[in-house]
Structure 1
Amino acid sequence: MTALPAALAITPPSHPLVGRVSPPGSKSITNRALLLAALANGTSHLTGALKSKDTVLMAAALRQMGVSVEEPDATSFVVTSSGRLQAPEGPLFLGNAGTATRFLTAAVATVNGTVIVDGDEEMQVRPIGPLVDALVSLGIEASCPTGCPPVTIVGKGSFGQGRVEIDGGLSSQYVSALLMAAPLGDGPVEIALTGSDIGARGYVDLTLAAMRSFGAVVEQVDAGTWRVEPTGYTATDLLIEPDASAATYLWGAAALTGGDINLGVEADAFTQPDAAAQAVIAQFPNMPAVIDGSQMQDAVPTLAVLAAFNNYPVRFVGIANLRVKETDRVHAVATELSRILPGLGVEEGDDLLVASDPDLASKLADRNSRVKIETYHDHRIAMSFALAGLRVPGIVILDPACTGKTYPAYWDMLAGLGVQLTAAD
């Protein structure tokens, strides 16, 4: 579907979804690898990479700073760099790409000159203050008057040295940003959490693995402290694994239709934390009554839609961080579930309660009206609620093109499995 309409209607398939689908490359690993390759001296070949709005924005920002980023095919980047970023002529615009925005905010502290890191209206209300405060504590001149982008950084060519403390409770991306910039310090940098809470710790492990692939030396001092040596980075070739967050939609589609979708990779082969969702999805329609989403945050919308058809209600806990994603996903999921059936999704504090009904599909089978799902410019809301359309008639996804942020071929994938998609008013 090369040109997507403003709204897309989904017809529930009359057959189980069966086939082989290769998920796109991991967004999380691709954006880490692009940055680390840009900070490395030499040429790095990144294969199996994701080409989507988020990674395109990261690549464009790196080019603005003097890095050569070539794209020889649909899943590869060839990155050539001197190992140092140059001051760009204008602001870096990163749309609503949270990883790119947070990672570059720290990395550009190594530039000689002033850099402005900015994004779209949605990005300009996503918090970044804790990361900026951490940079300032290292002696780096950085400011964000609103606590959100735009951020102005006046770099002096180095990341400094010494100990820096960071509150990672709001986002693990703050911790990852500091870690990835630290090898460009004047001396060792010690990064310490101010508390025990950290959003999706598994993504920090993902960061450490990527850093070590490019030659960084990192020591885990204790559960909340890392010591990074000033080694810089060395160019390398890296094969990027498929995206586990994207895989959750495929696992969910198979579960909802009683199908069998072969991803070509087993769940336990993923290193990304969202792969933990597969074990929960495998229990459908008897998913647990309480699901802790703290360490698989991007999978929560998928799990919540499946929970609508579960045999008993499901409460999602540990998901407060979802309120500061591309949109307030706790509110968005509750609102859109209740658009399908009033009271289906309820916010209770920062928890999400899904009032599951295993007969939901049959109860709504004769409905003639359409349910227009507002996606809030959020790719994960669009993709997860498309799964509801596999069971419930009349589901219409507004702004389906927003899936291009991380999964440009999402609708083609569903169509390839035999799902009927039509333009809607």
Structure 2
Amino acid sequence: MSPADHSPTADPTSHPGPTTVPGDWSAPTPDRPVDATVVLPGSKSLTNRYLVLAALAGDRSRLRAPLRSRDTLLMADALRALGVRIEDVAPDGDVAGAVPDWLVTPPAQLRGDVTIDCGLAGTVMRFLPAVAALAQGTVRLDGDPQARVRPMGPVVDSLRALGVDLEDSGGYLPVTVRGRGAVRGGAVTLDASASSQFISALLLAGARYDEGVTVHHDGRPVPSQPHILMTVETLRDAGALVDDSEPDTWRVEPSEINALDVSIEPDLSNAGPFVAAALVTGGTVHVPGWPQYTTQAGDLMREILDTMGADVRLDRHGLTVTGSGELFGIDIDLRDAAELTPTVAALAALASTPTSIRGVAHIRGHETDRLAALTAELGALGSAVTETEDGLRIAPATLHGGRFRTYHDHRMATAGAILGLRVPGVAVEDVETTSKTLPDFPGLWARMLSDGATTAGSSGATPAGPAAAVESAR
């Protein structure tokens, strides 16, 4: 397949103008500072890692308060296709409106002869081939058109080196894995400079390989290092022996994976736009349950907001962010938390001083080319934004309303919502793409800006209750 076959499905450099179309979401512009408590659902990254480990464990696991979004439901459905039983159960105490837990029962043998829909979920498309190699039979993985432009090469090449029989499409989806029920495993060297998920994929399944797995990275620095630490810690939670003492090398010993009983932390990257609202509007947002210690990259929002002008307080009750009405630019390397780039870029476009975002060249291969998309969409609203080799430079400018395209990217949509807090007339295209990681974002956003104590709607995937809630903090 030629490189042209993997060109982006949307061209962020060609903007059609500010005209809105039916179905666009009018981003609310509040007439007063926000004052709210925002309760957010669980981490997508943790939910999908724990689902994979529970599927490979020796006994039944319980995942408490898991995220139910498109990405995690795709992962659950993919594992069900491989023979894993995943059931909804009421949480302890049967709290009204609480998200059901998941009971995950692994089969004696993962089955093949199935097709898996990866959607646009990087964790599904990159984690599952390493799991499918342990199945008995053929497993075909494919996804949305946009997923077919996201790189897979380091994962599939590494699996071949470890003894897995598979076919790919020039380093992209679709991928077909011919599972034999076991994988030899061993040592492999790869270049993970495009995504830390390449390393996590091999580590998560590696304990079940006959020789375990040793992964060595050779290339430019690995982005999003906290996500690898998250993978290592979830493996240790499940009893796996992991040695990460040597730089750029990770070793997982062959072993059984223990059953899990874990509570999923709130998703701190999804929290980013909500706590940013406090800074933009000069108000206050409280997020209960923000962990004192976490491997989530989204925790960097505390430092970012503090530097940009907010008062940030973390205590045993959670995180409270209060804006002063002033918003300053920032000079920051986001290599380890690149998923925050759209949120930071939106804040930067509203700041009174310049911003430089560095270290995020790899997000050109995320759900869309995020650097090109942010340059095009911020620029279309009047921002003085310049794309650099590995990031963005954003200078103060007067913004105006208009259409903000999202390119099927959930974080582009939430960036548009942040801009709308201060810029009237921002219309966000395809806001429902936020359901990839956060059910009912528009409702949750609106309720944050309202006075009444209300509850966000469910993901639509389960009738069992809401995925998030907002209440007035007045």
TM-score by length of 1: 0.91
CA distance in 1, matches of 2:329, 2:386: 17
Distance 1:144 1:391, change over 3 A: same
Contact kept in structure 2, 1:50 and 1:75, CA below 8 Å: no
Cα distance in 2 for partners of 1:91, 1:144 equals 14
**1:289 to partner: Cα distance:** 4.1
1:383 aligns with 2:424: no
Q: Deviations over 1:342-363 (max 9, x none)?
A: x522212332111224xx36xx
**Which residue of the partner structure matches residue 174 of structure 1?**
198
Kept in 2, the 8 Å contact 1:244–1:270? The answer is no
- Partner residue, 1:69: 86
CA contact (8 A) 1:12 1:419 kept: no
Look up the equivalent residue of 1:121 and give its one-letter code. P
Q: Report the secondary structure of 1:387's partner residue.
A: helix
Deviation at 1:287, TM superposition (A): 4.6
SS at match of 2:444: helix
1:25·1:50 contact (CA, 8 Å) conserved in 2? yes
Per the alignment, residue 312 of structure 1 pairs with 353
The yes-or-no answer on 1:85 pairing with 2:86 is: no
Which residue does the alignment assign to 2:25? 8
Stretches of structure 1 lacking an aligned partner (at least 5 in a row): 365-369, 421-425
The answer to whether the Cα contact below 8 Å between 1:29 and 1:240 also exists between their aligned partners in 2 is: yes
Cα distance in structure 2, aligned partners of 1:12 and 1:224: 46
Task: Identify the residue that residue 462 of structure 2 maps to in structure 1.
Answer: none
What is the distance in 1 between the residues matched to 2:353 and 2:390? 20
Structure 2 vs 1, CA of residues 269 and 262 (structure 1 numbering), >3 Å: closer, same or farther? Answer: farther
Distance 1:288 1:8, change over 3 A: closer
| 1:288 positional shift | 5.4
Contact 2:86/2:103 (CA < 8 Å) preserved in 1?
Answer: yes
Q: Does 1:17 align with 2:34?
A: yes
- Label 1:295 to 1:219 Cα distance change in 2 as closer, same or farther (>3 A): same
Letter in 1 for 2:419: A
Distance 1:204 1:122 in 2: 24
* 1:193-208 paired onto structure 2 within 5 Å: 193-195=217-219, 197-208=221-232
Do 2:308 and 2:330's aligned partners in 1 also have CA atoms closer than 8 Å? no
For structure 2, the residue ranges without an aligned partner over 5 or more in a row are: 1-21, 91-98, 310-326, 452-474
Superposed counterparts of 1:157-236, under 5 Å: 157-195=181-219, 197-236=221-260
Aligned partners of 1:260, 1:396: CA distance in 2, in Å? 25
SS at match of 2:106: strand
What's the CA shift for 1:389? 0.3
Q: For the residues of structure 2 that align with 1:6 and 1:288, how far apart are their CA atoms?
A: 33
1:52 corresponds to which residue?
Answer: 69
3-state SS of 1:372 partner: strand
Q: Which residue of 2 aligns with 1:129?
A: 153
Q: In structure 1, what is the equivalent of residue 442 of structure 2?
A: 411
- The farther-off stretch of 144-153 and 383-392 is 144-153
1:159 to partner: Cα distance? 2.5
Percent identity between the aligned chains? 37
Give secondary structure in 1 for the equivalent of 2:357: strand
Partner of 1:281: 305
Q: 1:10 deviation in Å?
A: 2.3
Partner of residue 50, structure 2: 33
> Is 1:340 paired with 2:381?
yes
User: Does the 8 Å CA contact 1:274/1:295 hold for their aligned counterparts?
Assistant: no
Partner of 2:369: 328
User: What is aligned with 2:390?
Assistant: 350
* Separation in structure 2 between the aligned mates of residue 22 and residue 271 of structure 1, nearest angstrom: 20
Find the residue that maps to 1:276 and give its secondary structure.
helix
Alpha-carbon contact 1:274-1:296 (below 8 Å) kept: yes
C-alpha deviations, 1:111-137, integer Å up to 9, x for none? Answer: 122211111100011110111111111
AA aligned to 1:161 is: G
Total equivalences in the alignment: 405
TM-score w.r.t. the length of structure 2 is: 0.82
**Secondary structure class of the residue paired with 2:244:** strand
Q: What's the CA shift for 1:267? A: 6.3
Taking the aligned partners of 1:277 and 1:417, their CA distance within structure 2 comes to 19
